Amino acid sequence: MSDHESLVNVPVQLLGTVGYLKTTRIMKSFARLMKDRKHEQKFAVLERKLKAQLKKNYWGKGTSLKLIEQQSREASLTYINNLPDGEREAALANLEKTGASYNRQTYYALMLYSEVIPEDERAAAVDSLLQALDRAPAGHFTTGIFGTKYVLEILSRYGHADRVLEIVNSTEFPGWGYMISKGATTQWETWKESDDIYSNCHPMFGSVSAWFYRWVAGIQPVSPGFSDILITPLTHPQLPSLDASYQTPRGPVRLRWEQKGERVIYDITIPRGSKAVFRLPSKKKNNLVVRKAGTTRDYAPLLTGSEANEFRLSPGQYSITAE
């Protein structure tokens, strides 16, 4: 299936290997949590092998682009060979004329997510991902069911959650807002209208729901069971306020904020048995006041200087004012 409904080809070998790597990492973490040292080591070895194979095949100098173009061509031919007779010949001619393209958005997002790119090359890879976005229709995502999850996460992880929010809110094609502008009340199976050929009520592109919690509300588990939580909310001109709640195994994490002139007021609830770090992603230092319900003292930041936008929170209710 590869990256179902991607607007540009994605080699199934690349996507499948990254999926295998992701599952391996989950199993390694699970074994560690269960204190199963034997299986933790087994999955750690497999993780290293998969990363080495990904780097060799898709990031090695002089080999990666040639291989991915070859695999994209094979994917294109498989698709074309299943077309009706009247369409196959024209599609083959177009492939020979234009060559086999591949989805650079998915490619760079997968490579960054897999952490196979050397650290000193990652900034350039992020820039290449942003350039791939700029070249896409309306500057939007061209990714499919799997690639969308990775591109949402990677852009946000590297400081571009605001760009993602603008794409999510846009009504231009392709995107979620485009579906809504065409009367959709559920997510489609494809970015484009399908005349009922595809499902009009489908979990396709549903990874944006998790993105809202992780990067707009900014509620992220740091350890299993939400015993440690990072809260790093996004503020943006398109968002005058936000109210989010997530039910963890230890109780609800609640975040509410509202812009009032030059001030932003955050109300946060941390459940019993959890502890959290509240971090503002703003590049500038804010004047912050953090107060916990039932106490009279203000909280000091974890760090000083330019990193003073970060506080450690124990269970309870907090009011945080930033200006």
Give the CATH number, domain containing residue 290: 2.60.420.10
Distance CA 322, CA 309 (A): 9
State what percent of residues in the chain have pLDDT above 90. Answer: 59
**DSSP per position, 248-312:** ETTEEEEEEEEEETTEEEEEEEE-TT-EEEEE---SSPP-EEEEETT--PBPPPSS-GGGTTEEE
Which has the minimum average pLDDT: 72-81, 226-235, 254-263? 72-81
Q: How many residues does the chain have?
A: 323
Which residues 6+ apart lie within 8 Å of 110 measured at CB? 14, 15, 18, 147, 150
Judge if 26 and 146 occupy the same domain: yes
Question: Helices in 170-227 by DSSP H: which ranges?
Answer: 176-181, 207-211
Q: Is residue 144 part of a domain?
A: yes
Contact 130/162 with Cβ under 8 angstroms? no
Range of the domain at 258: 221-322
* Cβ count within 10 A of residue 257: 23
pLDDT at residue number 11: 83
Which has the minimum average pLDDT: 18-27, 43-52, 67-76, 186-195? 67-76
Question: What's the mean per-residue pLDDT of the chain?
Answer: 87
The winner for highest mean pLDDT among 225-229, 233-237, 317-321 is 225-229
Q: Is residue 33 part of a domain?
A: yes
Contact 132/39 with Cβ under 8 angstroms? no
**Helix, strand, or coil (residue 158):** coil
pTM: 0.85
Judge if 106 and 235 occupy the same domain: no
Pairing verdict, β 275-279 and 310-313 = antiparallel
Q: Give the pair of three-digit tokens for residue 30.
A: 């699970």
Q: Among 155, 174, 189, give the residue marking a domain's end.
A: 155
Q: Is residue 285 part of a domain?
A: yes
